[in-house]
Every structure is written in structure tokens, then in C-alpha cells.
Amino acid sequence: RSVVTAASSSPAVVTAATDVPGTMKAWAYEEYGDASVLKLDEAVSVPAVGEDQVLVRVAAAALNPVDSKRRMGKFKATDSPLPTVPGYDMAGVVVKVGSQVKNLKEGDEVYGHISEKVLEGPKQFGSLAEYTAVEEKLVALKPKSIDFAQAAGLPLAIETAHEGLERAGFSAGKSILVLGGAGGVGTLVIQLAKQVYGASKVAATASTPKLELLKSLGADVAIDYTKENFEDMPEKYDVVFDAVGQGEKAVKVVKEGGSVVVLTGAVAPPGFRFVVTSDGSVLAKLNPYLESGKVKPVVDPKGPFPFSQVVEAFSYLETGRATGKVVISPV
């Protein structure tokens, strides 16, 4: 099986080393398919550390729908080669630093989304492993007030929420409708819009049992999509943030000159779609809001799932009914 060379084979770029083994446990797949292609491999080589990278002992990881889409082969043309150790999100402790690493050191508690580009050449050796190598610029120090499991659920989702709001030109005093308010991304769009950007009004959609959650996160209006069609309601918004795949309906409730951010599915004008870019400086910028508790991680109450139950965790995520983040902890 061809896996990366062990870190010990490139000592030149390593400035510090603790007791890092040559091999590790990692979830991996050798062919595309449903969650059953995932196997727990007990002897995957620990990734080598590039000069601008740190090696992290992963304490917790989180799942994203893009992990499932990638595993199904939807991004085959631009994916890294098989076999794949999946996983974008992680929180853990730095155990080695590359020679060009400037700010991080051994022992630092960090979190981040490890692949700068999600779809184009994502890392072959991801976060569902005991160790993962990641560029310093993609991670940030973990807020002290949250634990590893909570931190692991944040990076990809909060960076997506932030990038979408930025691209939409969201700012204080504007109104927003969040489609999919109870999911991994939606729970953070609601909170960032309200707590970080100063939205005048936040509305969000979910099914009946999740309406209280939307309110607790700061939504002024919680729309039950099992009872009402948001697109038939009279209210119009400065921004509509679609985390469901309802781009064609979303554009019906945006004000003239407003923005419609679409994460998945069809896009109708004036909607636009983007793919998140990982950026540790976004996490660093948002850390004060996490430290103070103004923005709260939402970990799905069915989890955290232990590392042995990654297949069960993916099966649950893939129901599309998760609340907040599906987290794997401890790793």
C-alpha cells in the first residue's frame, strides 16, 4: 500500500520532535462508494511534515457533507489519489513543526480545516487519523473556553459562514434569511450575522423540533418549513443564505439589489455559489467571539461519536437531519 513516507525520513524540515510513532490508526478508503468503503487501518504511515506545516496529534475531528460527496467520487477529477484518509476538520495538539513555521510550537492546542481548497487537491491524509499534517496558515490557536470536540466542529462550517457573509457584503443593520438554520453551517451563519455583523433581523428555516434552537442562536424569526413556504411569505431580505439547495426559491425573497449565497444545488440570478477556502486567520479573527461565548459551537447531541464509530457517524450525517456538527471524539 502506498502511503506517505514517515516523518522520520525527512528530519531536515523538523525542528522539534516528541514521541511520534512511525504509524498510526486512520480511517481510509481505497475505492469510492458509500460509508461501507471506510476501513479502520491500524498502520498508516504518519504524514511527513512540510517546512510550512505542523504535525497535529488529532484530539477530535468533525464530519462535513463534502467528505461524503468526495467519498462518493463526485470530485474524482480534482481529488487527491486513492487511498484516502478523509476528514477536513480537526482540533488537537502540535507535536512537530516544520523549519519555516513562524508562530506555532510544540504543545500548542490548535484547530482548523486542513485543506486550503476543499475540492481541488484536498489532502490525501486528512483529519480522521491520529496525526495529520497541516500548513500553519490554515490553523489557529483553539479558544481556551471550548474543548477539542467543540472546536473540531467549527472550522469548515464557520469559515463557510464567514466567507459567504463577506462575499454577500453583509454588514450591520442588514436583514438575512438562513435556509437550513439548524445544520452545521446554518447554526453559525445565524450567530455570525447576529453577534459579529450586527444584523437587524435574522430569520431561519428548520423543521418543527429545531425552531427553539434557531431562536436560542439569535434568530428573530424561526420559520417551520414543514408548515410554511418561506418563498410565499411577504418579507424580503437583504441577504438570503442557502445551505439547503433551494437556490431557485431563495431568489424570490431577496430585496432588489440584495445577495443570495448558495452553497449547494441550483443557482438562479442574482444568486452566486462559492467554495470555501480554508484560512486560519478567519478563525483567529473570530476567536474572541468564541472565547466570550457570543458565538457557540453546536455539537449534535447524538455525538460526539468515538473514533471507532466513524461509519455510524457518517451514516447519521448522511440522513441530512444532523443538528449542528457531527463530531468524532476522542480520536
Residue type, 63: L
The residue number with the shortest CB distance to ligand NDP is 183
Q: What is d(CA 21, CA 301) in angstroms, rounded to the nearest whole number? A: 33
- What minimum distance in Å lies between the beta carbon of 55 and ligand NDP? 26
Specify the length of the chain in residues: 331
Using rule CB under 6 A, residue 86 touches ligand NDP: no
- Pick out residues in 25-84 that bind ligand NDP (CB under 6 A): 64-66
- In angstroms, give the least distance from the CB of 314 to ligand NDP: 11
Site for ligand NDP, residues 280 to 309, rule: CB under 6 A: none
Out of 36, 207, 216, 229, the residue judged to bind ligand NDP by CB under 6 A:
207
> Is the CB of 41 or the CB of 159 nearer to ligand NDP?
159
Cβ–Cβ under 8 Å, residues 57 and 24 = no
Q: In the stretch 242-281, what mask flags binding to ligand NDP with x, by CB under 6 A? A: -xx------------------xx----------xx-----
CB within 8 A of 268, min separation 6: which ones? Answer: 247, 248, 250, 251
What SS3 class is residue 177?
strand
Cβ nearer to ligand NDP, comparing 132 with 205: 205
Helical H runs in 226-306? 247-250, 280-291
Closer to ligand NDP by CB, 107 or 270: give it: 270
CB closer to ligand NDP, 21 vs 209: 209
Torsion sign (Cα): 58, 129, 331, 293: positive
Backbone angles phi, psi at 92, to 5 degrees: -175, -160
How many other C-beta atoms can be found within 10 angstroms of the C-beta atom of residue 163?
18
Of 245, 253, 263, 209, residue with least CA distance to 229: 253
Per CB under 6 A, contacts with ligand NDP among 116-175 are 157, 160
Q: Which residues bind ligand NDP (CB under 6 A)?
A: 64-66, 157, 160, 179-180, 182-186, 205-207, 210, 225, 243-244, 263-264, 275-276, 317, 320-323
